[in-house]
Structure 1
Amino acid sequence: MEYSDETLLPVWRANLLVLTHEVGAATRLARMMTFSASYLKLMLTGQRDFSEEFVRGVEAVTGLPSGWMDAPHEAHDVPDNARAAIDNEAPLARFRGTAHPVRKKAVLRPPEPIFGQSAAKKIDEDANDLDALRKLAYLRKVRDLAVQEVRRFERNLTHPPVDIGALRAKVEDVMAAADLDENVHADLAGRLEQIEKHRHMLIRHVEKLHELLTGLGESD
């Protein structure tokens, strides 16, 4: 399978490795790009190709100069603002595109029989291919909308409007001040513990949901 971006792909991949060589940087960049960390790591290891649209998105999200990814760089070449954006997981733009490579444009030729195949049959196959591409484009569109909602929900879980620690402290103050029955005290303590336990469990489920969604529509 040939892609229009194949000549620069090795340079882009090498620069992605430069940007993510620090511990945890790949995960942070993946989140900034609204991708799963596992999918980005497939790109870094050469198991998945990616498009110029994704590369330009990396530049915009991290604050890199336009075209920075097109030339080889070393770690010391990464601008301070881009490194800070990745370190703090603070995207400077929102990426709404896809990483899927773009096929090279085919040379248009009039339909003709191939190995005895009729022109009408060839036209039908082309129409089926076009229909498949439209379905794939729609899948990616609705998938990206779902991913945005999942990420918004995840941010609310990891940064809730109410400080969980402060909430627990206030309830524990009440427990200490009141002359509580042993069962009531245990019930209150248990509720606090279950709230925190289920919050962490819910975050893990949302992270897995995000990972599954971002992989849809991206296989070759």
Structure 2
Amino acid sequence: MSYTEAKEHTQGRLNALFADPYRAFENNTDERQLHVRVMLYMLLARPMSRGDMTLRVIHGWENGSCEPGDLQHADYVLNTLDDVKRAVRDFDQASKQNAPLPSEDPAILAMPLANVIADAKAEGQEVTDDIPKMPARWPALEGGLALYTLFKMYHRLVYGEDDVYRCSQCQTALGPREIHEFHLEESEFALLVPLVGQPKEAPSLLVLHESQLKPIEKLLEESLSLLNDF
């Protein structure tokens, strides 16, 4: 395990804007709506305008389940609000037709976990067969701490979280990223963006559960027209 793989409750890009980002988005915070708009401009609208943002819609976990192989996703290039609307239409249509929800390979959790386990075994490390079902034990494997951090993010995005905001740093398939996770009354989502000090022109992700597609569409409809003026 390497603690350079992931760090939770870290400072990030929002610390340059807010004295206390962890309180900036709470419902009783003064000028909360302004804080939300500024955050969206910095972490979402600007990467969208550069063509750096991808929308990742996750689904497959339900009723408390969290098997790595059950977590599915669909990615959408996210340059404009129309791209969000396309994702909403795709998932709405699948739901109305009782068809499988959009998904694609490779699996975002099961595949990298299989690779971590294979690497550990190749290094002679003993790995029990039940470790895929025991995420808390993943950090014992090289690369496992980062996967465990992402697992917890996915779990919170699916099943909810009391904390309105948290910031982490984590190694991802895109490289090291800040994870800005929001559980707002408007919508719940995570934004994975380059670390402070890294070039801003790099791939970024907006990750959310499929149940949050319409809430994020509404939030962006209300925000992007204003943000695009800056």
Larger Rg: 1
Higher relative contact order (CA 8 A, sep 6+): 2
Which protein is richer in strand relative to its size? 2
TM-score by length of 1: 0.21
Which protein is richer in helix relative to its size? 1
